A = this chain, B = another copy of it.
Amino acid sequence: KRPAPVTFLTHAMSSQWNVRPSDCAMRTMNPIRALVDMMDLRPNPDLPLIRLSIGDPTVFGNLLPPAQATLALVEEAVTYKSNGYAPSTGYAHARRAIAEKFSHANAPLTEQDIVIASGCSGALELCIAVLANPGDNLLLPAPGFSLYQTIAQSRNIECKHYALQQDRSWEVDIADLESKIDEKTRAIVVTNPSNPCGSVFSKEHILDILAVAKKHCIPIIADEIYADMVFKSQEFHALAPLSPDVPVLSCGGLAKRYVVPGWRLGWIAIHDRHGIFGEAIRDGLTRLSQIVLGANSVVQAAVPRILKDTPQSYYDGLMSILETNAKRCYEILKTAPGLKPVMPQGAMYMLVGIEILNFPEFSDDRVFTEKLINEQSVFCLPAQVFQAPNFFRIVTTLPEGETVEAMNRIVAFCKKHYKPSA
C-alpha cells in the first residue's frame, strides 16, 4: 500500500477558516449518551417519569452521604489550610489514609502506592493511559461499564471483550477470557462488584482470573469502586491480596460508598510486590497526573476523616437499603412475562433479560426501553450500551414508593406486549 500523496497547501490556500475537531475528540464517545440521544423519548404525560437509568445514588434524595463526610469537608474548608495546590498525586496524609484503609496483610500499601485522581474515572484513565499504546488492546468485561471503552477509544487503544455468564451470576467465562489474550494485550480490566451486573465474585473465581493473568503475564486493572458494597450473604474479596505476583492497579473512590459522586475523589492503589510495574509505571502515573492535577484539595484533606469516622452503621444502612430494593425489584420483575431479572449480589444495579422474541413489536432492548418510557414513563437503560444486548439495566437506589411503582409499571408493560411463543 503506497502512502497517499502529500499536498502542500500554500499560505494563500490555507487562509480560510478551516477549524475541525481533532480525531481524538471525534473518537471520544460515551455510548450511553450516544444511544440516549438517539432514542425517541416522550414519556407518557399522564404518568410521572421515574428514572431507573442513572447510576447516581444522590438523585432521589433518599440516600445521603455520611454526616461525617460533609462535616469533614466543611471543617477543612473553614481552616483555610487546604486551598492550595496539592501534589499531583495527592496530599500525603490523604494518600496515607487510603493506604491504611485498603492495606491488607497479603497486599500491604503505603502512601507511596496511592495516586489520587479526579474520581475513579480519572484513576481509570491514568491506568489505561500508562499501560497501553495506540494499537495495543485491553480486555474488558461484557457486560461491562462503558467508560473503559470511552477512554480506550479516545486513545486509539483497542477493546476486546470477554464474556460474563448470565447463568452463572455473571462470572467470567475463563476460557473466553484466555482466548482473547494476544501479544498486544496490555491489561485485563476486572470490575468487582460489577456495574451493570451487580455481581460479586467469589474468592475462588478471582483466583481463576488471576491464574489466567499470571499464565499470560498480563497486569490487571481492578475497578473496585463498589468495594465492600455487597449484600448480607456475600463477601467482598479485593483482588490484589489474592495474588502474590500479578501486578494490580486497583481503582476506587468515594463516589458510591459515600454517596458523593460529584466530589470527584478517586484513587489508584498500586500493588506490585515483585517490582513488575517498577519505578517506570509509578513514574508514568505521576507524569500523567501532572497535566490536570486531579482532585479538589478540600475533599482530599477531608479524606482521612471520611474514611476513619464514617461509622459501620452507615455502611450497613446503605447496603441494607440497596439489598431490600434489589430483592423488591427482583421479586416483582420475576412475575413479568418475558423478563429474566438476574438477582444482584451487591452494588446498585440489576440487569434484566428481555425474551425479545416474545415481544414481536420490539426489535431489541433499545426499542423495548423506548416504548417503556413512552407508555409507562419508566426509563431503564438499554444494556446494549454495556455490551449486553436484550437486557436492560435498572438502578436500585430509588425510594421504596418509586421502586414499587416503577416495577409494577414494567410488569404491566410486559403483560400488554408479551406474546407467548408459538
Contacts and interface: CB of A to CB of B under 8 A. Distances in A.
A270 to B, nearest CB: 12
Please indicate which of the listed interface residues A65, A70, A80, A298 has the most CB atoms of chain B within 10 Å of its own CB: A298
B133 A22 contact: yes
Contact of A130 (B21, B80, B83, B299): B21
A15 interface: yes
Given A84-B262, A296-B263, A280 B21 contact: yes
A105 interface: no
Interface string A232-251: 00000000000000010000
A133 B30 contact: no
Contact of A19 (B11, B119, B247): B247
Given A11-B216, A118-B294, A216-B11, A25 B285 contact: yes
Given A19-B247, A263-B298, A297-B262, A70 B78 contact: yes
A151 interface: yes
Interface in A198-219: 215-217, 219
Contacts of A83: 58, 65, 259-263
Interface in A126-171: 129-133, 147, 150-151, 154-155
Interface residues of A, number: 88
A14 B183 contact: yes
B298 A125 contact: no
Interface string A68-90: 00100110011010111110100
A20 interface: yes
Nearest to A276: B17
Interface in A23-50: 23-26, 28-30, 33
A8 B28 CA distance: 30
A327 interface: no
B59 A80 contact: no
Contacts of A22: 129-133, 284
Interface of A: 8-9, 11, 14-26, 28-30, 33, 54, 56-59, 64-65, 70, 73-74, 77-78, 80, 82-86, 88, 118-119, 121-122, 125, 129-133, 147, 150-151, 154-155, 183, 186, 215-217, 219, 247, 259-264, 276-278, 280-281, 283-285, 287-288, 290-300
17 contacts: A15-B215, A19-B186, A19-B247, A20-B280, A22-B131, A24-B155, A25-B129, A29-B287, A30-B290, A70-B77, A73-B77, A83-B261, A118-B294, A121-B292, A262-B297, A262-B300, A295-B296
